[in-house]
Structure 1
Amino acid sequence: MAHHRIIAALAAIGLALPAAAQTIEPIAPAPEQDSYSPGRALVADFDKIVSPNGVQESFIATLGGARQYVSVRGADRRNPILLYIHGGPASVELPISWSFQRPWEDAFTVVQWDQRAAGKSFTLNDPEAMRPTLTPDRYRDDAIELIELLRKRYGKRRIFVLGHSWGSAVGLAVAAKRPDLLYAYVGMGQLIDFQQNETQSYAQVLAQAKTDHNDQAVKELEGIAPYPAPDHLDLAKTGIERKWSVYYGGLGYNRRDSDYYIHIGRLSPEYGLADRKAWDASSDFTMSTMWPKLATLSFENLRTLNVPVILFLGRHDTTTPPQIAADWLARLKAPSKRIVWFERSAHLPMIEEPGHAFEALLHDVRPLAGKDLPPS
């Protein structure tokens, strides 16, 4: 969904197997020095995994012919793996993850992955060679390849997948195609149907602007009508809609902008100045390529999943209005399903209610690993 450039301007025990080693390039991330370097050094030291059976590594994996950056962190290799699939497209959340992820790492081995042509992966391949490969199916298949790699590398039968925003479309597609790889699927800010999503978001934001007697917002929003156009998503119009969605708290509840969210990436131990520039460039490149392709993307006809499903939904989210996902889940047949509502959140529950998010992961998600859980 809304990538960070649009929002800002407008708003996982096991040894590596030989087969896996052939697709992995080990790296030692060392962001260049800039004014944020002292802060990054403090965060890196504070967040360092020091437990004897822990894992803290980054590497480049070749997925679908494209080199992509992967970060893996956890306090105990015996824990189940949780693959976090970021939003956007290209709104990487690895640079943000230090602010909320550390408690998760006591219960899971958490994998952050910069998708093709996103963030640190952007400079690993020729962008123009990537452009024709940027399709929903390719992102899904990249994720499946990564899961297979993680299973081999860390000796796991299955893993958890958490998809956020755009990443929830990727994650849900993985759950539909390869449920055998997953303990459960977790959707946060779940996307079900792009046309419904944009239609409801626009209507809600316009109504808020009118109630607020915000003449500028009403003029700008009415100026992009009809939004969205049938079978077409216009990125410039989406930018205007997101500007006011963010202003009215549809990204962060009771927040007028997204600076607090985006700027914490400057203290990420894995992201230096060059990485942040790649983040910006990849957002512009990927959104302009992908957004028009998403107009007809829908999971409305997905009525059965052979894997447990848990949705983390922010009550005040207008980036991905939650009732669409709630209604879809009510129709879905699955081994188990539930919604965890975040009453003081919009689109970013992991940031807005970090304690509640960790509690839900610990009590509603992790037990689904069942007999594969290590002894306590």
Structure 2
Amino acid sequence: MQKTLMLATSLALTTPSAAQVSPVPDPYAQGRAVVADINRIVTPNGVQETFEATLGGARQVVNVRGADRTNPILLFIHGGPAAVEMPIAWAFQRPWEDHFTVVQWDQRGAGRSFLLNDPAALASTLRPERYRDDAIELIELLQKRYGQRKVIVLGHSWGSIVGMMVAAKRPDLLHAYVGVGQVIDFRENEREGYAWTLARAQAAGNTEAVRELEALRPYPGPGAFDLQKLGTERKWNIRYGGLAAGRDNADFYFRAPRLSPEYTTADRQAWDDGSAFTMKTMFPQLADISFAKLDRIDTPVFMFLGRQDYTTPSPIAAGWLNRLRAPRKKVVWFEHSAHLPFIEEPGRMFEELLTQVRPLSQTKASVGRGH
């Protein structure tokens, strides 16, 4: 992909272009096979499957993994748009699968789902509300397929927009909502992230960064956002650790798909192509997304926030949660993380999901057994 939103923006720095994609055979095939074998679910009541679901008229790929299919379902809604998590999940998700049935979903126009639909026909459907309704359809499918009354939704970055919209519209479907890298007000996120990035560049005496960043002013500016400006801001934001704390790049994260059992070389290229397509179509719609006036959600709400996140600046989400009315709410701070706490502090993320969120679900909640 080229320049895209939040996590997807930085993918352009690490994903090969079509001309660079390695030919078959996949040079990472042996490593992928080792990871697949290590992560294979072998428990008698486990689930490990990938299937296609038609959501809102679009074919989409869903991956489900867990050691006990009666554990609570946790739906991970990935960022981007089109920055899929399925090919990265092997790096952090396996411990979750002992206590949750974890669902990774390549949204419309994203990753493996990009290959299943005609982009020309799909383009007009790429609206935030359509993604919300796709997620609701998927939740209802999962309820029936696995005999569950409710699910836990975890929304990351762009996925936190989709997840928040689901929580606001259909709280009855959820045990809880967990926002990671939560977007509250898109325009305010960009203003605050830009100010932080420029301040870091000035403090470091980086004249090249300061010159490029100051040339963006006013940023993000009125009206629709400019993708080229976004790409420049993200380049330097990543350099100063706004995406991954203590790192000047995100190679460790975006190279992980090379060893994913779920993704081939062609699938990785589809991720890239889907990101470029989706952002070109979606980006003008995102500038004025805001939950600032949303003051009530009728399900428990958690914010898992990286203290050093200036991709989607965490103080905005923390301040919003203070004003929210919900049956239960809590901010959990990840002191050594920026935008990727599930992979920057994976043990801590698992601990918080297990102790804070899982108790809100009914263990082994099965419709068939009357739970």
TM-score class normalised by the smaller sequence: over 0.9
Preserved CA contact (<8 Å) 1:303 1:333: yes
User: What TM-score, normalized to structure 2?
Assistant: 0.93
Is 1:289 aligned with 2:281? yes
CA contact (8 A) 2:310 2:338 kept: yes
Match of 2:106 in 1: 114
**How far has the Cα of 1:128 moved from its partner?**
1.1
- Corresponding residue for 1:20? none
The 8 Å contact of residues 8 and 80 in structure 2, kept in 1 or not, is answered as: no
Tell me the equivalent position of 2:235: 243
Residue 274 (structure 1) aligns with: 266
| 1:50 and 2:42 correspond | yes
State how far apart, in whole Å, the 2-side matches of 1:283 and 1:3 are.
Answer: 11
What amino acid is the match of 1:112?
Q
Instruction: Write out per-residue CA displacement over residues 311-363 of structure 1, whole angstroms, 9 at most, x where no aligned residue.
Output: 10000001000010001000000000001100000000000000000000000
Q: Is the 8 A contact 2:111 2:274 kept in 1?
A: yes
Residue of structure 1 in register with 2:154 after alignment = 162
| Residue number among 302, 305, 308 corresponding to 2:297 in the alignment | 305
Q: Alignment length, in residue pairs?
A: 355
Cα displacement string for residues 112-133 of structure 1 (whole angstroms, at most 9, x for unaligned residues): 0000000000010001111110
For 2:68 and 2:11, the matched residues in 1 are separated by 36
For 1:217 and 1:318, the matched residues in 2 are separated by 16
Alignment partners' CA distance in 2, 1:170 and 1:354: 23
Q: Which runs of 4+ in 1 moved over 4 A?
A: 371-374
Shift of 1:91: 0.3
Structure 1 residue 6: deviation in Å? 2.7
Give the alignment partner of residue 257 of structure 2, picking from 256, 262, 265.
265
After superposition, the C-alpha distances for 1:226-250 in whole angstroms (9 at most, x for unaligned) are 1111232111100000000100001
Q: 2:18 — aligned with what?
A: none
- Tell me the distance in 1 between the aligned counterparts of 2:25 and 2:42: 25
Structure 2 distance, partners of 1:358, 1:138, is 30
Root-mean-square deviation over aligned CA pairs: 1.4
Partner of 1:7: 10
Q: 2-side partners of 1:290 and 1:242: how far apart?
A: 18
**Structure 2 residue aligned with 1:18:** none
Deviation digits for residues 198-229 of structure 1 (CA, Å, limit 9, x no counterpart): 00000010011111111000000011111111
User: Hey, what's the Cα distance between the residues in 2 that align with 1:67 and 1:225?
Assistant: 41
- Deviation digits for residues 139-184 of structure 1, max 9, x if unmatched? 0000000000000000001000000000000000000000000000
**Structure 1 residues 71, 299: CA separation in 2 closer, same or farther (over 3 Å shift)?**
same
The 5 Å alignment of 1:9-24 reads 9-10=12-13
Q: Map Cα deviations across residues 20-42 of structure 1 (whole Å, 9 max, x no partner).
A: xxxxxxxxxxxx74100000000
Correspondent of 2:133 among 138, 141, 146? 141
Q: Which runs of 5+ in 2 are unaligned?
A: 15-23, 367-371
Q: Identity of counterpart residues, as a percentage?
A: 63
Tell me, yes or no, if the aligned pair for 1:3 and 1:283 is still in contact at 8 Å: no
Where 1:94 maps in the other structure, the secondary structure is: coil
Cα distance, 1:4 vs structure 2: 5.1
2:307 aligned residue: 315
- Residue in structure 2 matched with residue 68 of structure 1 by the alignment: 60
